[in-house]
Amino acid sequence: MPAGYTHKPWHERLRIPSYYDDPAYDNHPAIAVNWWSSYAFARFEGKRLPTSLEWEAAARGADGAAVPLGGPGRPDRRELRRLLERPPADHVRGVA
């Protein structure tokens, strides 16, 4: 890791200061971490981070939508909020 970097999350960027300490968020994704921390974790797990093309393809979905949520304009805020409020495990299982 380059000098001056750490694996600690940016606590000052968290909207919920207890995000990493509260067990209610144990099934939520890691947030406010830098690229080096993500890279190190992926390597530790024997995996890799997606390329920018893979990331974009995943965001567009199977139908290749220009905007992942909400159609041709900005994403629909209600749909985005609904998705963000569910634990990630629900997204994987397809729970509505």
**In which domain, by residue range, is 78 found?**
64-96
Q: How does pLDDT run along the chain (96 residues), one tens digit per residue? A: 567 766 677 778 888 888 888 899 888 888 888 888 888 888 989 999 988 888 877 777 766 666 655 555 555 667 667 666 666 554 444 544
**pLDDT on residue 47:** 92
Task: Tell me, yes or no, whether 78 lies in a domain.
Answer: yes
Same domain, 12 and 41: yes
Same domain, 1 and 41: yes
Same domain, 4 and 43: yes
Same domain, 45 and 68: no
Task: Tell me, yes or no, whether 85 lies in a domain.
Answer: yes
**pLDDT on residue 46:** 93
Same domain, 75 and 37: no
Task: Tell me, yes or no, whether 80 lies in a domain.
Answer: yes
Chain-centroid distance, C-alpha 55: 11
Same domain, 39 and 68: no
Residue in the block written with tokens 């209610």 = 24
Dihedral class, residue 51 (left if φ above 0, else alpha if ψ from -120 to 50, else beta): beta
Q: How many domains is the chain partitioned into structurally? A: 2
- CA neighbor of 21 nearest in space, from 13, 33, 9: 9
Dihedral class, residue 64 (left if φ above 0, else alpha if ψ from -120 to 50, else beta): left
**pLDDT on residue 60:** 73
pLDDT, averaged across the chain: 74
